[in-house]
Structure 1
Amino acid sequence: MHGIPSQSTASVILDEILQYRRRFSAADQDLSAENRLVRHTQLPRIEAFVAQNRPIEFVLPAFPAKSPNPNKVLGEVPDMAEKLSLTFLNEVCRTIQQHYAPGARLTICSDGHVFSDLIGVSDATINVYQDQIKALIRDENLQHLAVLNLGDIQEFSPLIGNYDALRDTLIKGYADPLDAIRDQLISDEDGTRLYRAITRFLFEDGLLPDYQGSKTALQRDARQRAYGVIQSSWAWGNLLARCFPDAIRLSIHPQPASSLKMGIHMLPTKDDWLTPWHGTAVEIDGSFVLMKKAEALEINAEPVWIDGAHSHYQVTTQPRAEVA
């Protein structure tokens, strides 16, 4: 009988996360069947924390840096999109604590330095972004969140500041060969989706206002870099699995229902792959949605400034009441 309360608590915790699960878009997918698969994989992992009365531990590789393309984002630093997303993640943990006294903690494993050489963002820009993410967490009192950087891991700490050496050490110690990754992506439907999504991000990020080359050449370059980004990202995941062997692994991308990783939406978005650092927050009649900056301008969204910085956009579709 002792196991029944723990199992019940674990199920409630998993249900809380499943509300926000990021899925692949497909009309033929059965949500109930998917959720059963997710429960089969994740429930025992959560039950292990509950059985030991430990805080549920989540890790989320995310928040690398803003896209370099000004048609997608407002600038290089966190804005309302990040603030809303971080607040949401903290709220999920806070809600879990209402069901389970030890609560939950979520470590954001910032992966900007992991692949900055491949995404066209400098390590200095990433440092500013990461520092402001930490400041947001502190200023908003998001007590359930922490940030982990590649250099924060003991094995890598002697290399802090030498970002090429950090990346090289990660690849040598934790990455699969590029040929093996290519074969895996090509042979797996979900892998192919991931490869196409990363290629699209890199292609879009490269379409800068001053880009003079051909789109064909940029597409070819994006395809090649996508393999490297995925290799680096998976190496980071392998390292995190070693550092957090019991943690529930969340992802910014849709994941197969049977995966150890669960995709999670942090903001409503029309695009299952869009993230806060590839888009901007747009408030429409009081509710926020994530979209690219160019899309916000197409619907005549108005910029909103907070403390002298462009924070987000706003659209009002409801007619205003006339003043008598």
Structure 2
Amino acid sequence: MPLTTAPDTLPQTTGAAILNLLLPHHRTTDEAPVSVPVPVPVPASAEAFPHQLRRITDFVRVGAPIVFTLPGFPCKSPNPAKTLGHLPDMGERLSLTFLDTLCARIERIHPPGARVVICSDGHVFGDLIRVPDDRIDAYSDELRALIRQSDLHRLSVFDLRDVLGDLPPDAGRAHVHDRYAPTLDALRAEVRTDATALALYRGITRFLVEDTAGFTGTRSALQRQCRGRAYGVIQRSRAWGALIADHHPSAVRLSIHPHPAGAAKFGIRLLDAPDVWTTPWHSAALREPDGTWTLMPRARAARLGRLVHRDGRPSHFERSTADGHRSFATVRR
């Protein structure tokens, strides 16, 4: 009688344990209110995320570091009512630290560890979001400097310059769009029939409206213009995602946008915010008296707290306690 062996379930078990570290930070359209004082139990199990579980398990099986790719961190919103300037500030610092800490926690379960490749996508659609390319360069360069200075060695930055070198940004955008972007007709059809695509389209349209400064036409004219630009942003975002997949074919795909359980992309929440769509580059960070942090528009944060500078630049806002004393900062995880 031939010998039989039980299947090796250790990689699958380890993969599920690693995925369980990500689940409390899953960014979905069904977010719990940030006012809840304790973590809300995550209803979905690791098995509800088969795409991510399979890829994580593949890394575990061969004893390799797990690679996550995260498109995002493009540039600061050009709306001065939302952000503190055009360079990374405390919002990015906290978010990067969170990602590096998450990789460190994975390393305790999987000794080869994990790393996150931040795929900075500002150049991909800078013309559509009306941010000059030199400001996008400055933001991406500062991200790299922040990672290096803070010794966040599990993180790296990947942008269009890493792919196309010295090719001018306009030519680079055209190259990526022509090679990878879906057609406008196909995208419009998807938005009409897919709830997740529709939510993304509406979210991007809203951000484009909010980020447009100095528009002299009517509100309805601005909304029409931004709806058209939103399709372009999604086309370029899809193209960038396809390019990333070519360069990192085995990576686990994270996203700063909300995604339901079972989707090919795992939405991840970097910091608490009242709005599920809020990101560090569309907001300012406010430290509460209890040491927790929340993202919100600069104008609102300025009404709630005082501005704090770091290294000679605006960093964040800090709300004082009732007796005027400040508390020490701890980041909510």
Q: Give the TM-score normalised by the residue count of structure 1.
A: 0.92
Which digits, 9 at most, give the CA deviation of each residue in 1:93-112, with x for residues without a partner?
11111111100011000100
Residue 70, structure 1, aligned to residue 74, structure 2: no
From 206, 220, 223, the counterpart of 2:224: 220
Q: Mind listing any 5+ residue stretches in structure 2 that lack a counterpart?
A: 1-5, 33-39, 326-333
53 and 36 in structure 1: CA distance in 2 versus 1, 3 angstrom threshold? closer
Among all aligned residue pairs of Structure 1 and Structure 2, give the percentage whose two residues are the same amino acid: 45
Q: Which residue of 2 aligns with 1:184?
A: 190
From 77, 82, 90, the counterpart of 1:80: 90
Q: Which residue of 1 aligns with 2:105?
A: 95
Q: Which residue of 1 aligns with 2:36?
A: none
Q: Mind listing any 5+ residue stretches in structure 1 that lack a counterpart?
A: none
5 Å-filtered alignment, 1:1-324, equals 1=6, 3-25=8-30, 34-35=44-45, 38-153=48-163, 156-157=164-165, 160-206=166-212, 208=213, 210-285=214-289, 286-299=291-304, 301-320=305-324
Which digits, 9 at most, give the CA deviation of each residue in 1:194-213, with x for residues without a partner?
0000000000001x2x4432
Aligned partners of 1:127, 1:63: CA distance in 2, in Å?
Answer: 12
Bigger helix fraction: 1
Partner of 1:101: helix, strand, or coil?
coil
35 and 195 in structure 1: CA distance in 2 versus 1, 3 angstrom threshold? farther
Aligned partners of 2:191, 2:20: CA distance in 1, in Å?
Answer: 30
241 and 31 in structure 1: CA distance in 2 versus 1, 3 angstrom threshold? farther
Displacement, 1:33? Answer: 5.6
Partner of 1:130: helix, strand, or coil?
helix
Displacement, 1:297? Answer: 2.6
Q: Give the TM-score normalised by the residue count of structure 2.
A: 0.89
Aligned partners of 1:78, 1:54: CA distance in 2, in Å?
Answer: 31
Aligned residue-pair number: 312
